[in-house]
Amino acid sequence: MRIIPAIDLIDGKCVRLTQGDYSTKKVYNEDPLEVAKSFADAGIGYLHLVDLDGARTGSVVNWKVLEQLSAKTPLRIDFGGGIKTADDLRIVFECGAVQATAGSIAVKDRDEVARWIGIYGSEKIIIGLDVKEGKIATAGWRETSEEEVSGFLDFYLSAGARYTVSTDVAKDGMMQGPAFKWYDGLMRDYPGLKVVASGGIRGMDDLLHLREAGLDGAIIGKAIYEGAVTLKELSKLC
């Protein structure tokens, strides 16, 4: 299982939110490069970079941070937040992202995202599946869709998608444990899908549980920044 630390960006700074609520913003470091280098120095190979400004405004904002981190660290970066157009996606890849997450756009324009998968390949495009009270959340989790999860995933699997990052919004930033049953169900119902867990991780026990369950990856954010798990501990799972 891939260990994937997260950096969430607002105004170019490393922050965390709780359940996607921008009013809960807490700045942990004003230099994302310093944080990213600490991950790389610990032997971690991946980074989940989220443009919260982009998620809120509907277009990629923090592309310069992505460019800097990809140029100055060896981390394999997946980028999400604000990707709404083919130009947004092109900028993200030109700035060094290895993968890009289609979030709201995957719900609102299936055909366009399917076209992206056809152009860039299934290894490059991640389908964001954020769930709030059983419904798919969009627009930085401020809105929910009536889209059925089953139809949504069936469409993208048929289009060639192989990766999804899935968050139970109620778990995000709460450090009360991941949505284990939700992930078990996804992997049972969609064995061809590589599922990356995000949200709620409290520490090493949760990560070991997710690894044993067969997750492709686990994104961990607040537990790192609050000291519930150390980079040294994480490095042992890499």
* Confidence tier at 125 by pLDDT (50, 70, 90): very high
Q: Which two tokens stand for residue 70?
A: 């990809």
Q: How many CA atoms lie within 13 A of 140 on its CB side?
A: 22
Q: Which tokens go with 181? A: 């049953």
Q: Look over the chain and give the mean of its residue pLDDT values, rounded to a whole number.
A: 91
The pTM of this model reads: 0.92
Say if residues 126 and 101 touch (Cβ distance below 8 Å).
Answer: yes
Per residue in 194-237, pLDDT (tens digit) is 999 998 899 999 999 999 999 999 999 999 999 999 999 999 99
Whether residue 142 has pLDDT greater than 70: no
Domain hosting residue 29, numbered range = 2-235
pLDDT confidence bin for 176, thresholds 50/70/90? confident
The CATH number of the domain holding residue 41 is 3.20.20.70
Specify the range with the lowest mean pLDDT, choosing from 128-132, 159-163, 216-220. 128-132
Which tokens hold the place of 132? 């709030």
Residue 58: which of 85, 20, 22, 96 has the closest Cα? 85
Domain count, the chain: 1
pLDDT in tens, 42-85: 999 999 999 999 988 889 999 999 999 999 999 999 999 999 99
Is 10:20 a contact under the CB 8 Å cutoff? Answer: no
Reduced to 3 states (helix: H, G, I; strand: E, B; else coil), residue 152 is: helix
Percentage of the residues of the chain whose pLDDT score is greater than 90: 76
Specify the pairing of strand 21-29 against strand 13-18: antiparallel
Tokens of 77: 């970066």
pLDDT above 60: residue 139: no
- Which residues are designated catalytic? 8, 130
**What's residue 111's pLDDT?**
97
Residue 153 pLDDT greater than 90, yes or no: yes
Query: Is 175's pLDDT higher than 80?
Result: no
Judged against a pLDDT cut of 60, whether residue 149 lies above it is answered with: yes
Q: What is the mean pLDDT of residues 91-118?
A: 96
3-state secondary structure of 30: coil
